[in-house]
């Protein structure tokens, strides 16, 4: 829309049942690209049901890294974007966090993946 500026925010969470492997660190690897597609497949529908649905333009997994406590954990760092327009409600990261928390069963599931309850972070 005219006058809309693309804004970005980061989304971080930890998947407890996706074993981290070093090829997940390599952006051009087959495993990275596959995991990136899968994350998009599960994240897009969440955002399309959120308070920013009309402004949401997408999320891209930027990095996968090893979990701090167990090698079975994979941390996901994503950058998401939305069109910021005066006619739309302001981006409210606390509200979005609450919505994502609810839609992931209190930060426990994302599709077939189990999430670390304390790992969800939205930075606007």
% pLDDT > 90, the chain: 74
Give 69's pLDDT tier (boundaries 50, 70, 90).
low
pLDDT at 22 over 80: yes
What is residue 17's predicted lDDT score, i.e. its pLDDT?
92
How much is the pLDDT for 84?
Answer: 82
Q: Check residue 2 and give its pLDDT.
A: 59
CATH number at residue 64: 3.30.70.960
pLDDT on residue 116: 95
Range of the domain at 29: 5-123
37, 25 contact by CB (below 8 A): no
Indicate if the pLDDT at residue 105 is higher than 90. Answer: yes
- At 3, the pLDDT band (50, 70, 90 cuts) reads low
pTM value surpassing 0.85 = yes
* Cross-strand pairs, 75: 14, 65
Total domains, the chain: 1
């Amino acid at each position: 829309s005219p006058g809309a500026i693309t804004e970005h925010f980061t989304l971080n969470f930890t998947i407890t049942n996706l074993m981290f492997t070093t090829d997940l660190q390599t952006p051009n690897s087959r495993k990275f690209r596959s995991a990136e597609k899968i994350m998009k497949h599960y994240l897009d529908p969440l955002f399309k049901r959120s308070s920013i649905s009309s402004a949401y333009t997408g999320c891209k997994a930027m990095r996968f890294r090893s979990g701090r406590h167990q090698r079975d954990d994979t941390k996901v760092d994503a950058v998401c974007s939305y069109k910021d327009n005066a006619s739309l409600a302001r981006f409210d990261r606390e509200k979005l966090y609450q919505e994502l928390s609810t839609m992931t069963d209190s930060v426990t599931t994302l599709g077939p993946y189990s999430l670390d309850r304390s790992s969800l972070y939205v930075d606007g």
